[in-house]
Amino acid sequence: MVTAWRTLREGFKHPSYELYRSSKLMKDYIPEGSIVSTVNIATAMIYENRRAYYYPLAIDDADFVILPYGNIDSKNPYYPVWVNYDVNENEKMNQMLNNRLKERGYNLSNPKLFPGNFAVFKREMSHAD
């Protein structure tokens, strides 16, 4: 009950509104019928009329990838997806997947950013290539 009152009181400033807004914007950006590889929280935000897979599944065939982002301005952007590994293993996993995404034609240097720290990467070459 306290959470409901807090949400009503804070309105647009409440964190759940940011996810709602992000969901609407991502649905507008990612066309219906697209294949999307994404993290768990974003799956519910975009699944309607799109095929959603849990990242990194389907990155070879997906049209878009949605990831939370950490340091997006660094030479090697960091996407904090791996929570069960130590820092060094996270970095290795992040670098390996960045390389694989680049090889598969995703534009990692120019993601579309959304509220809630989500980065959407569009695949520049089609999965039929």
User: Does 20 fall in a domain?
Assistant: yes
CB of 64 within 8 A of CB of 122?
yes
Peptide bond preceding 56: is omega within 30 degrees of 0, i.e. cis? yes
User: Does 128 fall in a domain?
Assistant: no
User: Does 127 fall in a domain?
Assistant: no
Is the model's pTM score more than 0.75?
Answer: yes
Between the alpha carbon of residue 5 and those of residues 31, 87, 117, the distances in Å are 35, 38, 25
Count of residues in the chain: 129
User: Does 102 fall in a domain?
Assistant: yes
**For the chain, which ranges sit under pLDDT 70?**
1-17, 70-84, 126-129
User: Does 129 fall in a domain?
Assistant: no
User: Does 88 fall in a domain?
Assistant: yes
Instruction: Report the domain count for the chain.
Output: 1
Give per-residue pLDDT as tens, 25-59: 999 999 999 999 998 878 888 888 999 999 888 99
Domain encompassing residue 18: 2-122
The DSSP element (H or E) to which 5 belongs, if any, is helix 2-10
